[in-house]
Amino acid sequence: MIREEKQSLLRNLPSIDQLLQLLPTQQLLVVYGRSLTIEALRHTLDRARQTILKGSDTTRLVTDEDFIESAQAWLEAILAPTIRPVINATGVIVHTNLGRAPLSQAAVAAVQAVSAGYSTLEFDLDSGKRGSRSVHAENLITKITGAEAATAVNNNAAAVLLMLMTLCQGREVIISRGQLVEIGGGFRVPDVMAQSGARLVEVGTTNRTHLRDYEAAINENTAAILVAHHSNYKIIGFTTEPSLTELAELAHRYNILMLYDQGSGALLDTAPYGLEPEPTVLDGLADGCDIVCFSGDKLLGGPQAGILCGRADLIAQIKRYPLARAVRADKMALAALSATLAHYATDQALTHIPVWRMIAYPLTEIEEEANRWAARLRTSGIDAAVVDGRSTVGGGSLPGTSLPTRLLAVKHSDIEQLAVDLRNHEPPVIGRIQDDLLLLDPRTVLPEQAETLLKALEIYCAKRET
Ligand SMILES: *Cc1c(COP(=O)(O)O)cnc(C)c1O
C-alpha cells in the first residue's frame, strides 16, 4: 500500500470524542463507566491504526459500529471472572485444581447469610460487648472429635506452621525420613519445619523407621515428635513405622509432645465404601496425640481452613501466639465450617456433604445415571455408551485407591476438539480423554448440573458431525 493511502486511512479514523458521542457508546458508559470505556475505545483505535500501518486487511470498511463492538468485546473480556464454576466430570472427588471440596447447601447458605450483611463475628449478643471469633467453629469441633479444645485457621499449612512455631521454636522436632515429603503445591514438610524455627531431627530411613530410632534421638532439647500423614504417597514393600499409639506413649514417657498432621480431616471411616482405611482425626486423638491438625476442604468436605484440636493448654498457647492473627480464618470460612460440622454432629454427613455423598454414591445408582445419560444422547444421534472405570478421592488423599464407577463414553470424529468445546462452554465441562473416547464420570457431577452437561454435549456433538 502506498504511503498516501495509509495516511488517508489513518486520518479517516474516528476520534475518541467522536465515538463517545454515538448512542451505542452511551450504553457502554452506563454499563462499564467512563474511564474503562475510554480505555476500551483507545485500545480499539490503536489496534486499527496498527492494522493500517502494517498494510493488511484494509479492504474492509471499518464502521463506527465495528469500533464499538470490538470495544465492548474488550470490556467483556477484561471483566470476565477468571474464577468460575465448572462441572467436574473427571471422577476426582477432591480435585485440587477444581477447587477441592464443593460445599453443602447449608454451608453455602451460611456463607451467604453472614457475608451479605453484618454478623456476630466478634460480638456477644448476651452481654452486648465484644465477643471472640474463635467461638464459632470450636464448640462443634470439640463436640465431634471429643478434643478438649480446638481452633480454626486459614488452611492446614498455616496450622502446621503455627503449631510448630508456638510449641517447638528453637527446639528439636523428631520426624521420620519416610515423612519428609512434598504434600503438593510446594508444601514441603521440611521447609515448613525450617520456617517455623524448629530444628528438624530426621530419624530412620525412607522405608523403615523404628521406635528405637525415635527414642535414640530424644534429648533435653527435644520439643516434640511429629507425624505427617502419608496423604498423597504410599511406601510399599519392606516398610515399617511405629504406630501413633507407640509414638505417643514414647513421647509422653520422655515428657515431650506428640504432634500429628493428619492432613485430610477424615472424620468418618472410609473403609465401608471400598477405600483403604484412612486414619481419622478421632483415631489420632484416641491414640494419644497432643495436637491433631487437618484441612477443612479435603475429606472434611468444608471450606478452605486448617483446624487444630487437642490439649486445651496447648491450643490456648497457639491461639495467643502472634502469628495466629496473621493466619486467622475469615467469617465466610467460619460460617461454612460451622455448617459443615453441624452435618457431622447430626449424623447427616453422608447425605448432606457432597464429598461424602460422592464417596458413598452406590455403584448401581451411578450406573443408572450413566445409562440415562447415554440413552438420552443416543436419541440425539450421539455415539454414547457406558463403560467401567474408576473414580478417585484425590486432593492428595488415599493414594493408590479408587472406587469402581460407570463412565459415560462419547465417541466423536474430533475428540480433542470436543473436549476443547466443552471447556469453553458456559459453565465449562471438564472430562478426560482415553483411548479416543471422551469419558465423563457421573460420580462428581452434582445432580443439578447433569442437564447442563447433556445439553452441552448435544450442542457440540451436533456442531461437529454436521
Ligand atoms: C493437604 C495437607 C497439608 C496442607 O493442607 P492445606 O489445607 O492444603 O494447607 C498439610 N499436611 C498434610 C498431611 C496434608 O495432607
Average pLDDT, the chain: 93
Q: Is the pLDDT of residue 383 over 90?
A: yes
3-state secondary structure of 103: coil
Does some domain include residue 454? yes
Give the model's pLDDT for residue 19.
93
Q: Give the pLDDT confidence score for residue 466 in this predicted structure.
A: 46
Query: Looking at residue 395, what is its pLDDT?
Result: 74
Residue 30 lies in a domain: yes
Gap between the Cα atoms of 30 and 99, Å rounded: 34
Of 127-136, 314-323, 333-342, 385-394, the poorest mean pLDDT is in: 127-136
Q: Of all protein residues, whose CA lies closest to atom 11 belonging to ligand 1? A: 263
Distance 74 CA to ligand 1 centre (A): 39
273 and 398 together in one domain = no
Closest ligand 1 atom to 187 CA: 4
Same domain as 119, residue 183: yes
Residue 401: what pLDDT? 82
Residues 391 and 345 in one domain: no
Task: Specify the ligand 1 atom closest to the Cα of 264.
Answer: 15
Q: Give a yes or no: residue 69 inside a domain.
A: yes
Q: What would the DSSP string read from start to end of 238-298?
A: S-B---HHHHHHHHHHTT-EEEEEEES---S-SGGGTSPP---HHHHHHTT-SEEEEESSS
396: confidence class by pLDDT, cuts 50, 70, 90: low
Ligand 1 cavity residues, CB under 6 Å: 155-157, 160, 183, 187, 228-229, 231, 261, 263-264, 295, 306, 396
307 and 330 belong to one structural domain: yes
Domain boundary among 350, 365, 392: 350
pLDDT digits (tens, 9 = 90+) for 33-63: 999 999 999 999 999 899 888 876 555 667 8
The reply to whether 197 and 75 lie within a common domain is no
Atom 13 of ligand 1, residue of closest alpha carbon: 263
Do both 159 and 304 map to the same domain? yes
CB 230 within 8 A of CB 400: no
Pocket test for ligand 1, best of 289, 292, 295, 307 (most atoms within 8 A of CB): 295
* Residue 296 covered by a domain: yes
Enumerate the β-bridge partners of residue 295.
Answer: 306
Separation of CA 159 and ligand 1 centre (Å) = 9
For residue 273, the CA-to-ligand 1 centroid distance in Å is: 23
For residue 53, the model assigns a pLDDT of 87
Predicted pLDDT at 253: 98
245 — pLDDT class (breaks 50, 70, 90)? very high
Residue 409: beta bridge partners?
385, 439
The protein residue whose alpha carbon is closest to atom 5 in ligand 1 is 156
Distance 60 CA to ligand 1 centre (A): 57
168 shares a domain with 215: yes
Domain CATH number, residue 440: 3.90.1150.180
Asked if the structure places residue 100 within a domain, the reply is no
Ligand 1, atom 14, lies closest to the CA of 263
Rounded CA-CA distance 139/464 in Å is: 56
Element (H, E) at 333: helix 331-345
In Å, how far are 27, 72, 257, 285 from 311, measured between CA atoms?
Answer: 61, 58, 10, 10
- Which ligand 1 atom is the nearest neighbour of the CA of 262? 13
CA atoms within 13 A of residue 132's CA, in its CB half-sphere: 10
Judge if 133 and 270 occupy the same domain.
Answer: yes
- Ligand 1 centre and the CA of 344: distance in Å? 21
The answer to whether 293 and 261 have CB atoms below 8 angstroms apart is yes
Ligand 1 centre distance from Cα of residue 355 (Å): 17
- State which residues form the domain around 379: 87-94+357-465
Alpha carbon 436 to its chain's center: 29
Contacts of 256 (CB under 8 A, 6+ apart): 218, 222, 223, 224, 225
Domain stop point among 350, 379, 404: 350
How many independent structural domains does the chain possess? 3
From 231, 264, 291, 337, mutation site for ligand 1 pocket: most ligand atoms within 8 A of C-beta: 231
Same domain as 109, residue 154: yes
Distance from the alpha carbon of residue 374 to the mean position of ligand 1, in angstroms:
38
CA quadruple 74, 77, 80, 81: dihedral positive or negative? negative
Asked whether residue 234 is assigned to any structural domain, the reply reads: yes
Tell me which of 96, 163, 183, 291 to substitute to probe ligand 1's pocket, judged by most ligand atoms within 8 Å of the beta carbon: 183
Taking only the tens place, the pLDDT of each residue in 120-174 is 999 999 999 999 888 889 999 999 999 999 999 999 999 999 999 999 999 999 9
Alpha carbon distance 458, 275 (integer Å): 35
Shared domain for 174 and 66, answered yes or no, is no
263 assigned to some structural domain: yes
Please give the distance, rounded to the nearest whole angstrom, from the Cα atom of residue 75 to the centre of ligand 1.
38
Q: Which of 320, 350, 380 is at the close of a domain?
A: 350
And the C-alpha cell for 354? 457432597
Report pLDDT for 62. 74
Q: Over the stretch 249-297, which tens digit does the pLDDT of each residue have?
A: 999 999 999 999 999 999 999 889 988 888 999 999 999 999 999 999 9
Ligand 1 nearest-atom number relative to CA 228: 13
Give the CATH number for residue 163.
3.40.640.10
User: Pick from 406, 411, 386: which is nearest to 461 by CA?
Assistant: 411
Tell me, in angstroms, the distance from the centre of ligand 1 to residue 366's CA: 30
| pLDDT tens-digit series, residues 71-126 | 999 999 999 999 999 999 999 999 999 999 999 999 999 999 999 999 999 999 99
Quick one: pLDDT band at residue 457, thresholds 50, 70, 90?
very high
Q: Kindly state the helix (H) or strand (E) to which residue 384 belongs, with its residue range.
A: strand 383-394
CA of 211 to the centre of ligand 1 (A): 25
Q: Do residue 242 and residue 313 come from a single domain? A: yes
Is 99 contained in some domain?
no
421 and 388 belong to one structural domain: yes
CA dist 64 and 22 (Å) reads: 9
In contact, 87 and 95? CB cutoff 8 Å: no
**Taking a C-beta distance cutoff of 8 angstroms, is the pair 222, 254 a contact?**
yes
